[in-house]
Amino acid sequence: MRIALTIAGSDSGGGAGIQADLKTFSALGLFGTSVITAITAQNTVGVTAVHEIPVEVIEAQLDAVASDLRPDATKIGMLSSAAVVQVVAEGLHRHALIPVVLDPVMVAKSGARLLRSDAIDALEHELIPLATVITPNIPEAEVLTGRTIRSEEDQVEAARDIVRLGAGAAVVKGGHLEGDAVDILWDGHSVYRFSAPRVQTPSTHGTGCTFSSAIASYLALGEPLPVAVERAKHYLTGALQHAPGLGRGHGPVQHGWMTRVDLNSVGVRMFTPAQLLLYAIVDPGLCRGRSPADIALAAAQGGATLVQVRADALSTLDLLRVSQDVVNALRSLNVPVVINDRVDIALAVGAAGVHVGHVGAEDMPPDIVRRLLGEAAVVGVSVATAEEARAALRLGASYVSLGPIFETSSKHDAGPPVGLDWIRSIRAVYPGPLCAIGGITADNAAAVIEAGADGVAVLGAIASAEDPFAAARRLRASLH
């Protein structure tokens, strides 16, 4: 299980700070740890008291966590003084913690100041250069850059200015502007624009904390930064839409809105690119008369990280039976099962998701699939070009599949092989999870990963093997 660390203040009202971060980590399938920098007495109406934690206690908390429960990502929120900034920066250096998401919390939603003026200089010189990404809102970005921000163009320039301060990337959030909520990411190379309809609600307490901790969560799960930001924005938008309407002021968002999906039924908490590593496809027509469930179980026990049921020749009732058997066989192994093309079968058997065809083709688009199966669903899409891959990602695909890489006889309509250079060309312009398929064996799988794929999908190499367990084990070993 991946671990995320939050270094921030405590909010007694539970809507922001440490509490919001831990709720977000849990909702997105991570184990959350914390370093508390301050204790605030607050609710949805305002902040009535702030008590700073002694710096030696902050240091001790950070050392205790990092030495035993090393985080896969760290989110930093409220740091009220220069001394606190300094001790946190030293801890990040000492433990070499990356990636780091810095939310420069300066003012509470109620208007209470949470960052003393003496700490801003320390933040700029000590902490911003250590940040993988910093996530200021408009007022915070104006303080950090000294520029007035009134448009998306201003957001872009502010993000560039902040990266010049030493941050790896900057997301300037547009919640304080009019119109749709538009966030701008500058990563030092490209500008990314993320837009969502503005949610009309007074329940906006902790939105900055929730957004930054969601970015940290997705980074911990292995997502590239642009994908992490896009998915974090989607998560926050849902949390605002499902806000419970608590309190007399700026109420909290609903951090657990995605848990309405029965995640236990899909066998995993959340898809990660690591689950693409060895993707076994089980087709009854290639199982040589053996049970597809037995083949799937042997593949999973041999090291497969994801299993797909593909059975175009079967009737709906037979596909339903085969799919249910595979899901039941793998339920205890925490290996997700997806069904090729059939959303109805995936729903019926409690599969993790589906794999569909090209965006724009006759297959159901990934955003509609996700609407039917829920936010936790694994949604794969076959692609042929970088444009198709990016389109699939924008529509909510968990991963894209590219191929055939080599000559293959397992799929009669696979087309000519595209080769390793095609993987490299797609990877150069596509940041999301990428799976390669077609003619992949234990002898060439490592080269596929080296070319830029996150994982390999195999059909006949496991399903038709004399010993599927041994075949999966050899493939998995070749990928290390």
201 noted as active-site residue:
no
Q: SS3 for 40?
A: strand
List the catalytic residue out of 209, 287, 302, 303. 209
Which one is catalytic: 208, 222, 238, 403? 208
DSSP-derived 3-state class of residue 383:
strand
Q: Catalytic residue at 33?
A: no
Confirm if 21 and 6 have CB atoms less than 8 A apart: yes
Asked if residues 440 and 260 have their Cβ atoms less than 8 Å apart, the reply is no
Pick the catalytic residue: 6, 44, 204, 305? 204
| Contacts by 320-323, CB closer than 8 A, 24 or more apart | 320/345, 320/348, 320/349, 322/284, 322/292, 322/293, 323/348, 323/349, 323/351
Residue 435 designated active-site: no
Nearest to 18 by CA among 4, 7, 2: 7
- φ/ψ of residue 195, rounded to 5: -125, 145
Catalytic position from the list 23, 75, 173, 411: 173
- The answer to whether residue 173 is catalytic is yes
Sign of the CA dihedral with 328 first, then 329, 331, and 337 last: negative
Residue 345: half-sphere exposure toward Cβ, Cα within 13 Å:
28
Is there a catalytic annotation at residue 204? yes
Active site residue 208: yes
- State the catalytic residue, choosing from 37, 44, 207, 305: 207
Catalytic pick among 9, 91, 174, 206: 206
Residue 132 corresponds to which tokens in the numbers above? 């993988």
Cα 84-85-86 angle, rounded to 5 deg:
90
Q: What angle do CA 458, 463, 467 make, to 5 degrees?
A: 115
Active site members: 173, 204, 206-209
